[in-house]
Amino acid sequence: MRILAAGDHFVAPELLTRELQDEIGKDHTIEGLLLPWPLTPFGQVAEVHEASGDEDTLLAALRGAQVCVTQMGAVTRKVLDGAPELRLVVVGRGGPVNVNLEAAAERGVQVCNTPGRNAAATAEYTVGVMLSAMRRIPETSAALAAGRWAGEFYTYDNCGPGLDGARVGLVGCGAVGSRVARALTALGAQVNLYDPYADPELLRAVGNPVDALDDLLGISDVLSLHARLTPQTRGLIGARELALLPEGAVVVNCARGALLDEGALCDALTSGRLAAAALDVFAEEPPPAESPLRTAPRLVMTPHLAGANTSVAHNAARIAAAEVGRFLRGEPLAHRVV
């Protein structure tokens, strides 16, 4: 069996290879390909999204391969057409948006993902940037690094709110949102949840379910987004929704940039209606130089890092390798999407 380990600078080909060999032994040919992500941002490649590299490079590496393990490789219709021996693609991420699933199904190529590999990391990071925005940690750190003891941040008007007793609204309560809910509850927050797709019993186990998004917004001192990006959720939080938040609310998005109208967010920050915001994801990554995000006040921004820690890379490689092992042994795949 020939296997392509199309890794990158986060989940490296060498890491994929080690996990594959631990799972299936060394009797199979495993060849590595290094894609440029995240040193080069992912983007659209032909008809697939959030992909790295180009079709021709991946296609050349796939010649004769029956299995491809990748995180960001652009598995397009052209690539699938040019790799007739390919039978399995395992994507080391939650959503295989870099794979043309329709074309894969037409060709009998099975596709698997690795759900949950970064849920804990993303939840931790969400709480971290939430606190950073609320407590103005980046501003005070920058002031001290510049040699200024910024005592004004201890004044009532400047010190920022805390999580203890705060009403936090979570939009989406899956693997990430549920972890955020438990962490916030431990910090004393009152957690309210809106997720029309989740089991109400599961919601009640981690917070207080709210039936309507507008109702959630009206009682959220902090709003944190954890929904998947779909045609229905694109632009979910716009100017109208932000206006429903209480005066001085905080908005956090570590899910997908297009869930949130960035222009409306900047307007609400500039007007002072929102106290702060924290974004790890953006509608366009990186944000263009002319984006109003770059000059918006009280905005914490990080470059799509919520799911990035060393444990996540190992989790992704291990879950992917286990799927390859099941495939080779003829067992049912645990995370098959096609």
What is the C-alpha to C-alpha distance for residues 245 and 53, in angstroms, rounded to an integer? 41
Nearest to 104 by CA among 78, 73, 77, 85: 77
Active site residue 314: no
Instruction: Look up residue 308 and give its two tokens.
Output: 């990035």
Q: Out of 256, 318, 326, 335, pick the active-site residue.
A: 256
User: Which residues, in sequence order, are CB contacts of 289 under 8 Å at separation 6+?
Assistant: none
Active site residue 285: yes
Peptide bond into 38 cis (omega under 30): yes
**Contact by Cβ (8 Å): 255, 279:** no
**Contact by Cβ (8 Å): 2, 64:** yes
* Alpha helices (H) along the chain: 13-24, 55-61, 77-81, 101-106, 119-135, 137-145, 175-186, 200-206, 213-218, 239-244, 262-271, 310-329
Q: Out of 167, 179, 298, 304, pick the active-site residue.
A: 304
Q: Out of 102, 284, 285, 331, pick the active-site residue.
A: 285
**Contact by Cβ (8 Å): 51, 77:** no
What is the C-alpha to C-alpha distance for residues 309 and 318, in angstroms, rounded to an integer? 15
What's the Cα-to-Cα distance from 184 to each of 93, 196, 222, rounded to whole Å?
A: 25, 21, 11
Active site residue 124: no
Element (H, E) at 250: strand 249-253
Point out the residues that are catalytic.
Answer: 256, 285, 304
